[in-house]
């Protein structure tokens, strides 16, 4: 992956078709500790419907389901989703769907919570408004988005786009998301040292105009 505007991101389908998920930089069997903290501290009032957006290896989706939520793992890559369906066929409370979040088939107001660990930060700047609108549409009113993305503190040449707290706040607040918490953290996976990241908790203060 390259961090520029030239579309240098992987072809996700051929990546998941050819490579073992365990060797991917974002592979982590454990639940993201920042999301785990949100769940464990009892900050989520309902055990509702969770979307793990850009689920890839699906480890995060499975861990969220184990904590009592009804989970959908979605990804643009068919190979990633077919693998997840096979590997996790016996896991209760979880389904997998092929879906492109920039042109999503998911219904309005479908989810109480969305977890995005590493999908938003691969989109080119021109695609971000579409992403934010789709998230707003499929998330219930007062639903929550948990977002993990690379931080401007991360100095590797390779990788996805980087965000400061100010930049990410501006992108979402323009669309009436409320930033509840935002912190500097790391992105768990197979890289050493772990990439520096932001973890942002947002609430959807819905008022979209439907035509």
User: Is 201:146 a contact under the CB 8 Å cutoff?
Assistant: yes
195 vs 209 by CB, closer to ligand SAM: 195
Q: H/E/C letters for each residue in 69-119? A: CEEEEEECCHHHHHHHHHHCCCCCCEEEEECCHHHCCCCCCCEEEEEEECC
* Interface residue with ligand SAM, options 80, 106, 138, 202 (CB under 6 A): 80
Give the number of residues written for the chain.
211
Span interacting with ligand SAM, options 72-80, 87-95, 136-144, 195-203, rule CB under 6 A: 72-80
Q: Please, which of residues 120-179 interact with ligand SAM by CB under 6 A?
A: 122
Q: Does 119 bind ligand SAM (CB under 6 A)?
A: yes
Neighbours of 63 (CB within 10 A): 20
* Interface residue with ligand SAM, options 34, 75, 134, 154 (CB under 6 A): 75
- Least distance in angstroms from the C-beta of 126 to ligand SAM: 13
55 vs 204 by CB, closer to ligand SAM: 55
User: Is 114:53 a contact under the CB 8 Å cutoff?
Assistant: yes
């Amino acid at each position: 992956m390259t961090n520029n505007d030239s579309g240098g991101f992987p072809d996700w389908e051929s990546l998941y078709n050819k490579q073992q998920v365990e060797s991917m930089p974002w592979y982590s069997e454990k639940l993201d500790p920042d999301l785990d903290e949100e769940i464990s501290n009892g900050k989520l009032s309902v055990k509702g419907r969770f979307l793990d957006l850009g689920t890839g290896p699906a480890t995060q989706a499975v861990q969220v389901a184990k904590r009592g939520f009804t989970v959908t793992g979605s990804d643009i890559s068919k190979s990633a989703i077919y693998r997840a369906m096979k590997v996790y066929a016996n896991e209760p409370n979880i389904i997998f769907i092929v879906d492109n979040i920039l042109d999503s088939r998911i219904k309005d107001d479908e989810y109480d919570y969305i977890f995005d660990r590493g999908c938003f930060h691969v989109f080119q700047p021109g695609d971000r408004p579409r992403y934010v609108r789709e998230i707003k549409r499929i998330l219930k009113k007062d639903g929550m988005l948990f977002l993990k993305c690379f931080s401007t503190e991360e100095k590797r040449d390779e990788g996805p786009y980087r965000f400061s707290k100010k930049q990410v706040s501006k992108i979402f607040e323009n669309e009436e998301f409320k930033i509840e918490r935002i912190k500097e953290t790391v992105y768990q996976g197979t890289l050493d040292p772990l990439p520096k990241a932001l973890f942002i908790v947002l609430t959807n203060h819905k008022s979209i105009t439907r035509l």
